[in-house]
Structure 1
Amino acid sequence: MEIDMFDETESVQEEHQQLVARLVEFAASYLKLKENTELSITFVDNNRIQEINREYRGKDQPTDVISFALNDEDEDDFPINMETVGENFPENIGDIIISIEKTAEQAKEYGHGFERELGFLALHGFLHLNGYDHMTQEDEKEMFGLQKEILDAYGLKREE
């Protein structure tokens, strides 16, 4: 798996970037994704994620994580027939954008560590890139159950 990581805040510690990369790679293995899967993760501040949230979601407020899936079958997209490009062709599944400020705020609010919240948000965004959603109660139960299962298996359990 190839993960391109960008820190627009220039404040994310290397160990936190490595935690996110390892967790996403673990989740990719857990979901049995192909080795040639690619994605990007960008760390931003609240102002930047608010701009993105306003532009793409019509919500003028900062949020914690936003995902842009490339395989969401939007009718405006140009379809790529993966069978014709060959199995070694890299498959980019999309982009995850995480607000580091929101991560710290929520970690404090929920009473657990920054690492747990950062891992949770990265995994949450990653699952969105892989077709999981929480628009209905049934979908939410499936996605959040899988999220907990992966975080627990990785060893990043929620502190009680």
Structure 2
Amino acid sequence: MYVELTDETGKVPKKIIEQTQKVLAFAADFIKLPENKEMAVTFVDNARSHELNLQYRDTDRPTDVISLEYKPDEEEYFFDEDTEIPEELLEELDPFIGELFISIDKAAEQAADYGHSLEREYGWLTVHGFLHINGYDHYTPEEEKEMFGLQEEILSAYGLTR
């Protein structure tokens, strides 16, 4: 999987950027994501996170990670109106799955609040966002159990334990 990483803040340590790349590759293999997939991760501050949260979620506060899932739209391709395009073909034509915006301010706050390392917090936020852009959610107790269980499985297997 190809991951484009951007640090808008200029403050993210190199080891966190490298860890983010590695944990995403690990998570992609873990859930058996096709190798041709692509995504983007941008590290932002709380002010930018607040703007994005307001824009995309209509929530007037900063948040730790914003996940924007991308689903290809068959209208973007030049097929006859009557042609039904299989989902697999759409996914192959456009491998971009989404993007994450991770607040470095929230990551630092939460690592301190939860009493674990900054590495663990960045890993948690990365895998959490990654699972969201791959169709996982936590709106119901069943979804939450599935998503958080898988998230912890991935982090533990990777070595980012509490």
Q: Does 1:143 align with 2:147?
A: yes
Tell me the distance in 2 between the aligned counterparts of 1:29 and 1:53.
29
Query: Aligned to 2:137, what secondary structure does the other structure show?
Result: coil
Q: Could you say which residue in structure 1 is the equivalent of 2:159?
A: 155
AA at the equivalent of 1:78: D
Q: Does 1:125 align with 2:133?
A: no
Query: Aligned-pair distance for 1:83?
Result: 4.8
TM-score (norm 2): 0.89
Alignment of 1:12-51 (within 5 A): 12-51=12-51
Which 4+ runs in 1 deviate beyond 6 A?
A: none
Q: Show CA shifts across 1:9-39 (max 9, x none).
A: 0111111001011001000000111111100
> Percent identical across equivalent pairs?
51
Q: Could you say which residue in structure 2 is the equivalent of 1:78?
A: 73
Q: Could you say which residue in structure 1 is the equivalent of 2:2?
A: 2
Q: Show CA shifts across 1:73-132 (max 9, x none).
A: xxxx73374655795x55110000000010000000000000000000000000001000
Query: Aligned to 2:39, what secondary structure does the other structure show?
Result: strand
TM-score (norm 1): 0.90
Q: Show CA shifts across 1:39-85 (max 9, x none).
A: 000000000000000111111101000000002xxxxx733746557
Unaligned runs of 5+ in 1: 72-76
Tell me the distance in 2 between the aligned counterparts of 1:105 and 1:21.
22
Q: Which has the larger radius of gyration?
A: 2
Q: Of the candidates 87, 96, 99, which is equivalent to residue 95 of structure 1? A: 99
8 Å contact kept, 1:67–1:96: yes
8 Å contact kept, 1:36–1:90: no
Tell me the distance in 2 between the aligned counterparts of 1:86 and 1:9.
32
Name the stretch that deviates more: 77-86 or 52-61: 77-86
AA at the equivalent of 2:73: F
Tell me the distance in 2 between the aligned counterparts of 1:83 and 1:8.
34
Unaligned runs of 5+ in 2: 77-84
